[in-house]
Amino acid sequence: MSTAQEQVKIIRVARRKRAHHGSHGGSWKIAYADFVTAMMAFFMVLWIVGMDAQMKKAIESYFTDPIGSRQAYSNGASPISSGSSPAAVPRPAVRLAARASQRQLFDGISARIAQKMQAAAAEAGLGVDVEVYVDASGLRIDLVESADGQSCFPFGSAVMKPAAVRALTLVAGELRAAPNPLIIEGHTDAAPFGSSGYTNWELSADRANSARRVLESAGVATSRIVEVRGMADRQLRNPEKPLDPSNRRIAILLPYLGGDPSAPHAPDGGTVTS
pLDDT tens digits, one per residue of 42-52? 888 877 777 76
The reply to whether the predicted model has a pTM over 0.85 is no
54 and 136 part of one domain:
no
CA 250-253-258 angle, to 5 degrees, is 165
For position 12, what pLDDT does the model report? 66
Tell whether 66 and 117 lie within a shared domain: no
Burial classification of residue 236, based on how many CB atoms lie within 10 Å of its CB (0-12 exposed, 13-18 middle, 19 or more buried): buried
* pLDDT tens, position by position, 45-90: 877 777 767 666 776 666 666 555 554 544 455 544 544 444 454 5
Integer CA distances (angstroms), 7 to 2, 10, 12, 199, in order: 9, 10, 16, 139
* 36 shares its domain with 140: no
The pLDDT, as a whole number, for residue 251 is 97
Given this model, what pLDDT does residue 13 score? Answer: 62
The whole-number pLDDT of residue 238 equals 93
Within 10 Å of residue 16's Cβ, how many Cβ atoms? 5
Intervals of the chain under pLDDT 50: 71, 73-75, 79-80, 82-87, 89, 261-274
Q: What is the pLDDT of residue 44?
A: 80
Contact present, 170 and 224 (Cβ < 8 Å): no
Q: What is the pLDDT of residue 262?
A: 46
Q: Are residues 39 and 135 in the same domain?
A: no
- b/e code 189-208 from CB counts within 10 Å (16+ = b): beeeeeeeeebbbbbbbbbb
Query: What is the spatial distance between Cα 155 and Cα 207, in angstroms, rounded to a whole number?
Result: 12
Let me know whether 113 and 201 are in one domain: yes
The answer as to whether 201 is a domain residue is yes
Q: Is residue 17 part of a domain?
A: no
Q: Is the dihedral of CA 59, 60, 63, 64 positive or negative?
A: negative
176 within domain boundaries: yes
Specify the pLDDT at position 220. 96
Residue 108 CB partners (closer than 8 Å, separation 6+): none
Q: How many domains does the chain have?
A: 2
Phi/psi of residue 202, each to 5°? -65, -40
- Picking from 87, 116, 132, the residue at the C-terminal end of a domain is 87
Confirm whether 65 is domain-assigned: yes
Same-domain check for residues 123 and 49 = no
E strands, 33-105, in order:
none
Contact 93, 108 (CB under 8 A): no
Q: What is the largest CA-CA distance in the chain?
A: 154
Q: Which domain holds residue 61?
A: 28-87
